[in-house]
């Protein structure tokens, strides 16, 4: 299983890349709106040059012709860019056209297994069910991940389920158990995954105990 970071912050990407656990990044217009003094293109290229792996950048055009122009432009920003397209009928048409041009698509805003199936048939490289937002609507977001994984496996679709909109560390474990090959997680969730209060307490206790013997003067070697 691979972990992607869900962010448009270059500082967050740099911090996680150092740990050697990052395989890619997903961005979206909402995450980008939090950044200032940099264009979307500049930031995506900066992220591509920082992480070795796919970086998703989202299209916002709603008409097919404009969407195709935007998607081809976004794909040209860097070889590692994956074009994010929201699923609807126009998005599916664009995806099947772009997939034939070998442009990688992350089909986003997926809220049902039916949408995931259509995205896979259209040729999306990644399919992103939004687990947290489905949960927010009172349904079981992880069930969509489970169903999509089962369907893709059963019919040998090359599309990969990218579990998205994950809100806490248990979501990541549930996505891993559901067989999602990729989970994209916010920075705070990734930080929380690495921590446990008993680890903190254990490190503190070992450090205190080590100080006990580090303080002792070195014993003289007895002469034989």
Please, which residue, 77 or 187, has the CB nearer to ligand E4P? 187
Asked if 159 is part of the footprint of ligand E4P (rule: CB under 6 A), the reply reads: no
In angstroms, rounded to a whole number, what is the distance separating the alpha carbons of residues 221 and 216? 15
Q: Assign residue 9 a region: left if phi > 0, alpha if psi is -120 to 50, beta otherwise?
A: beta
Please, which residue, 90 or 108, has the CB nearer to ligand E4P? 108
Q: Report, in Å, the least distance between residue 69 CB and ligand E4P.
A: 22
Window 93-132: contact mask with ligand E4P (x via CB under 6 A):
---------------x-------------------x-x-x
Residue nearest to ligand E4P (CB): 165
- Is 84 tagged catalytic? yes
Candidate list 52, 84, 104, 154, residue with the active-site label:
84
Q: Assign residue 103 a region: left if phi > 0, alpha if psi is -120 to 50, beta otherwise?
A: beta
**CB-based contacts of 3, cutoff 8 Å, min separation 6:** 21, 22, 23, 172, 182, 183, 184, 185, 190
Residues in the chain: 224
In angstroms, rounded to a whole number, what is the distance separating the alpha carbons of residues 96 and 91? 9
Binders of ligand E4P: how many residues, by CB under 6 A?
A: 11
Please report, as ranges, the residues that interact with ligand E4P according to CB under 6 A: 6, 26, 28, 108, 128, 130, 132-133, 164-165, 184
What residues act catalytically?
A: 84
């Amino acid at each position: 299983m691979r972990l992607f970071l869900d962010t448009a912050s270059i500082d967050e990407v740099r911090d996680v890349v150092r740990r050697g656990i990052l395989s890619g990044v997903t961005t979206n217009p909402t995450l980008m709106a939090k950044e200032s003094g940099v264009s979307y293109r500049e930031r995506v290229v900066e992220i591509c040059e920082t992480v070795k792996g796919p970086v998703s950048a989202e299209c916002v055009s709603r008409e097919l012709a404009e969407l195709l122009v935007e998607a081809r432009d976004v794909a040209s920003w860097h070889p590692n860019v994956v074009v994010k397209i929201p699923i609807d009928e126009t998005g599916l048409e664009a995806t099947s056209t772009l997939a034939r041009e070998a442009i990688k698509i992350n089909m986003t805003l997926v809220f049902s297994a039916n949408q995931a199936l259509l995205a896979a048939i259209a040729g999306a490289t990644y399919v992103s069910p939004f687990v947290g937002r489905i949960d927010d609507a009172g349904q079981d977001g992880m069930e969509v991940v489970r169903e999509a994984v089962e369907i893709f496996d059963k019919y040998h679709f090359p599309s990969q389920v990218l579990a998205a909109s994950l809100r806490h560390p248990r979501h990541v474990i549930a996505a891993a158990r559901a067989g999602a090959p990729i989970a994209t997680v916010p920075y705070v969730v990734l930080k929380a995954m690495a921590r446990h209060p008993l680890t903190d307490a254990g490190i503190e206790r070992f450090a205190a105990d080590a100080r006990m013997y580090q303080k002792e003067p070195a014993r003289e070697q007895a002469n034989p």
